[in-house]
Amino acid sequence: MTNGTDGSGDPASSDGSDDAGGAARADGGSAASPAGEANSDERVSLQHGAGGKAMRELVAETLTAGFEGRGDATVGLNAMDDGAVVPVGGATLVLTTDSHVIQPPVFPGGDIGRLAVSGTVNDLSVMGATDVRALTSAVIIEANYPRANLERITRSVASTCEEADTGVVTGDTKVMGHGEIDGVVINTAGIGVAEHVTPDAGLSTDDVLIVTGSIGEHGISLLAEREGIEFGSELASDVQPLNDLLAAALDAGGEGVTAMKDPTRMGLAGALNEMADKSGVGIELRQERVPVTADVKGTGEMLGLDPFQIANEGVAVLGVAPTAAEDVLAALREHPKGEQAAAIGKAIDDHRGRVILDTGIGNRYLREPAKEPAPRIC
């Protein structure tokens, strides 16, 4: 870990305490108000799109108001999971959608096209829908954007679809005026079929927490690229579709795989805190077991960032029943994308809704950051 006991990866952030996640306004007020009581002075901030507590409050109190109980989803808006689960006939379909605003759009290890496909495939996969049937792609382009860049992005979308054994089947294109949008934005949606649904709220006491690879690589490498900083290392994003890897885990563990989540914008800390809170359990995490490369650790220290709170785009977190954990971990490690998979902790009956980090010299709460340490990285 690279910072003090407050768990914050951003020197400018608040202390990360449980009541620090409210959407702060410049005038000191709260951007959140009860549903149906909109205040004309309230404004949306970058914090509301960061994937953390403030965003969940905005979604729950404003963006999903009036939709409760509508539709046929068995896992729907109220769950705020990575996708919706909709039974159709004898099949269990999972539907998800995501928008991508990364800057820069081309970065070491990938680009916005690979990110768009991987992000949507992974959101489906962590819900158990590793059989990804189809994707959509809507592209919003700034006027005067280089056509050669679009061609590169399109090639990347195609090659990543091939890797994930899926394809884009429909889409949309819009062009905005120069300066009205920053380069290019891509929205993707996807649909997949699940034999066994793995919601992020599925943890039970004693379930083993497994991470499929080393953490922090996407966010740290992107920030280094954005700032033009060279550390003499080969930092690159981990962005990749994980449906083949997670299919192997599900084949090995079956219904013993109880929960999954991809630790994107708020990193591993955000994902585990959300899983603990939704599942009504605590999580005990062993710091020395969490795989972090020396390059990520060193660069994070130089930038003042905590790898536990930085986005990943090619890693998943699994909750697995103790009886299945050994088989699932072995299956992950046998796959090229899961060679660094590790059992990093377990669900516990106390400290419910919180993550306890065993640092080797003591324990502390590992909190979700109050705001996104690094904006626009996915």
> Quick one: pLDDT at residue 232?
62
- 59: which DSSP letter? I
Decide yes or no: CATH 3.40.250.10 for domain 208-365.
no
State the pTM of this model.
0.85
pLDDT of residue 39: 56
pLDDT of residue 181: 92
307 vs 224: which has the higher pLDDT: 307
Given this chain, do its domains 77-193 and 208-365 carry the same CATH topology? no
pLDDT tens digits along 132-141? 999 999 999 9
Backbone phi, then psi, for 130, in 5-degree steps? -75, -15
Mind giving me the DSSP string for 84-137? EEEEETTEEEEEEEEEE--SSSEETTEEHHHHHHHHHHHHHHTTT--EEEEEEE
- Residues ≥6 apart with Cβ < 8 Å to 79: 199, 201, 278
- pLDDT per residue over 68-109, tens digit each? 666 778 888 887 888 999 999 989 999 999 999 998 899 999
- Architecture of the structural domain at 77-193: 2-Layer Sandwich (3.30)
Euclidean distance between CA atoms 6 and 369, whole angstroms: 10
Tell me the chain's radius of gyration from C-alpha atoms. Answer: 20
Number of continuous H segments (helices) and E segments (strands) in the chain: 8, 14
Q: Give the domain ranges of the chain.
A: 77-193, 208-365
Sign of the CA dihedral 212, 279, 218, 2?
Answer: negative
How far is residue 16's CA from residue 189's CA, in Å, rounded to a whole number?
A: 32
Q: Among residues 307, 376, 373, which one has the least CA distance to residue 16?
A: 373
The whole-number pLDDT of residue 9 equals 35
